[in-house]
Amino acid sequence: MCGIVGFTGTRAAAPVLLHGLERLEYRGYDSAGIAVLHDGKIQVEKVSGRIAKLCEKTKDGSNVPGSVGIGHTRWATHGAPTDQNAHPHVSNDGRFAVVHNGIIENYLELRKELIRDGYVFQSETDTETIVHLLELYYDGDVKAAVMKTAARLEGSYALGIVCTDEPDALFAVREASPLILGIGVGENYFASDVTALVSHTKNVIYLEDGEFARLMPDSVTVYDCTGRELQKKVSRVTWSVEAAEKGGYEHFMLKEIMEQPAAVKAALAPRIHDGRIKLDGFEITSEELKDVNKIVITACGSAYYAGCSGRYAIERLCRIPVQVELASELRYADPMVDDHTLVLVISQSGETADTIAALKECRARGAKVIGVVNVVGSTIAKLADHTLYTFAGPEIAVATTKGYTTQLAVLYLFALYISDKLGRIDAESYAALVKELQHLPRKIQQTIDMNWQLPNVASRYSSHSLFFIGRNTDYAVALEGALKMKEISYLHAESYAAGELKHGTIALIEENQPVIAVCCNEALMDKTLSNIVEVKARGAKVLALSFKGNKKIVSQADDVIFIPRAETVFSAALAVVPLQLLAYYAAKEKGCDIDKPKNLAKSVTVE
């Protein structure tokens, strides 16, 4: 969702900006633009559509001279995705250009005021108010104008600003929207996330809300909102450039599916020592735990579905009630959360606006919050009382895969850890489950290897409408499988708890209706088998997903996809993999834009 980049140095800025924008493409966007300072003027180039069009228009940046500039990918909120509404926006006097990620909530009021003062608007965006405010407050001191402007803005914003009167400087401002400064040698950068920076530098400063920075080619100064200079820590990014590239795969999504054995291992291995789980400094005593009367898990999209799987693991192993709540609902639900509630907030990006708001609601009510987050230094990681990183590495495809399975891995670790702390698991079962966890990466690899036939299966089951069914842990997987299918192949897919079919939805089953039945929960196998029989009796074509060696399923389903046998409580981490592949191949056959599905953004930083 909107991406911003900035560069100041001595070489040509435009190619650096375009390259940075390409790195941010995965966030989702519908127009793009750059503004570069040269000879006391700002040259702006922007297009609706893809960055490739902007590269073509600017001849890969070669016809936009200058060594200081800003760039933007816009995901339309206020106003259609047109050239006019694309960023950067320029002040009426041509002195300032601005790029913005976020939403200015009081923009209507500001717009009226600025129009009254004679400012002329070129776009329908909320962002344009910012650039006119800069002009309004400018009296020869850019830093002061930036501060005065920021003080007028309500909402969320990461801003990149250039001004012709400070031709080497970039200004970066952050409030409730991610912004990271990259520290180079003789050149400096900013970007919405580190994937746009890692090919230039691994040294970064994470700006906090209310802070802003002035970047020159050889210096970076960070200020608080009163203009006081701050001493900020420079952090080292561990992600490699290769990790953010396709590495020979046709799509990032396929690469990320294949990376799951390694990613899950990275999430598990550092936390298991001599058969015992240690959670990176997260300590909770048995006494403190006895004071916890419920666990609330909150998240959005796939992270929410990871929470649904996590719930089964925690409830089964710890016998603590777990409530899983959509963050977009919980934030407005006046939630029944207090200092006896332990809250798990799950987010790959750590920047999802609804999840951040839900986290704040829970904290305000006194709950202890644990973040399960992939992106280091992200907002959720900072706001949580303790963060368990998922160590998935950069996830570029909009559809999450390794982000999701590593969340499961962390939730499984958490469940076992708490269960042991509460004395609800005997030593032998604990040891066996820890061992089973350690086998997960290998079994995920086997799952991938066993499913080479999936392109054919996907082609037979691609239909305008698909059902995904399952019970208990399998239902949680069905939810995620259906979401994967919908978001990348645009096929209508719905998931149902198998036992619910009779209560209404079985009426939709007709001749040849594809039904994907997840049957990996041994205890409920016969129950799901009866549901398969029921839908088949009404003409459905059933593709079942079960563990290798399950003969019963072979006799009932039309087709079967196998996974290695695994402990039920952890089976979601295996079962989801063929469903990811199924969605991938269905989307590929339809010729969809797999890594950047329409209407979606990787990181949903606005409500």
Any catalytic annotation for residue 548? no
Judged by beta carbon, residue 131 or residue 594, the one nearer ligand M6R is 594
**348 binds ligand M6R per the rule CB under 6 A:** yes
Judged by beta carbon, residue 125 or residue 347, the one nearer ligand M6R is 347
Q: Interface mask (CB under 6 A) for ligand M6R, residues 479-508, using x and -?
A: ----x---x---------------------
* List 421, 443, 596, 602, catalytic entry: 602
Which residue type sits at 496? Y
Contacts of 248 (CB under 8 A, 6+ apart): none
Judged by beta carbon, residue 184 or residue 350, the one nearer ligand M6R is 350
* Region binding ligand M6R by CB under 6 A among candidate stretches 120-128, 341-349, 359-367, 522-530: 341-349
Q: Interface mask (CB under 6 A) for ligand M6R, residues 288-307, using x and -?
A: ------------xxxx----
**8 binds ligand M6R per the rule CB under 6 A:** no
Q: From edge to edge, which strands make up the β-sheet containing 559-563?
A: 492-497, 465-470, 514-519, 541-547, 559-563
Q: What percent of the chain is helix, strand and coil (3-state, nearest 5)?
A: 40, 25, 35
Q: Is 216 exposed, middle or buried (0-12, 13-18, 19+ CB in 10 A)?
A: middle
- Among 347, 451, 472, 521, interactor with ligand M6R by CB under 6 A: 347
**Assigned token pair, 92:** 């009426």
Residues 66-105 that bind ligand M6R (CB under 6 A): none
The stretches of 190-298 forming alpha helices (DSSP H) are 252-258, 260-268, 286-290
**188 binds ligand M6R per the rule CB under 6 A:** no
**451 binds ligand M6R per the rule CB under 6 A:** no
Any catalytic annotation for residue 2? yes
Judged by beta carbon, residue 128 or residue 354, the one nearer ligand M6R is 354
Which residue type sits at 58? T
Q: Least distance in Å: CB of 23 to ligand M6R?
A: 17
Alpha-carbon gap, residue 105 to 112, rounded angstroms: 14
Alpha-carbon gap, residue 158 to 26, rounded angstroms: 18
Alpha-carbon gap, residue 89 to 122, rounded angstroms: 9
* Region binding ligand M6R by CB under 6 A among candidate stretches 105-113, 238-246, 349-357, 555-563: 349-357
**Assigned token pair, 252:** 């990032």
**446 binds ligand M6R per the rule CB under 6 A:** no
- Among 308, 398, 466, 572, interactor with ligand M6R by CB under 6 A: 398
Nearest to 267 by CA among 402, 382, 133, 380: 402
Judged by beta carbon, residue 201 or residue 400, the one nearer ligand M6R is 400
**352 binds ligand M6R per the rule CB under 6 A:** yes
Q: Least distance in Å: CB of 443 to ligand M6R?
A: 22
**395 binds ligand M6R per the rule CB under 6 A:** no
**603 binds ligand M6R per the rule CB under 6 A:** yes
Alpha-carbon gap, residue 31 to 75, rounded angstroms: 7
Alpha-carbon gap, residue 62 to 382, rounded angstroms: 40
For 607, other C-beta atoms within 10 Å of its C-beta total 15
Alpha-carbon gap, residue 43 to 306, rounded angstroms: 46
Handedness of CA 128, 131, 134, 136 (dihedral sign): negative
For 233, other C-beta atoms within 10 Å of its C-beta total 7
- Among 159, 399, 448, 542, interactor with ligand M6R by CB under 6 A: 399
Q: Which residue is nearest to ligand M6R (CB)?
A: 301
- Among 4, 196, 254, 604, interactor with ligand M6R by CB under 6 A: 604
Which residues contact ligand M6R by CB under 6 A?
300-303, 347-349, 352, 355, 398-400, 483, 487, 600, 603-604
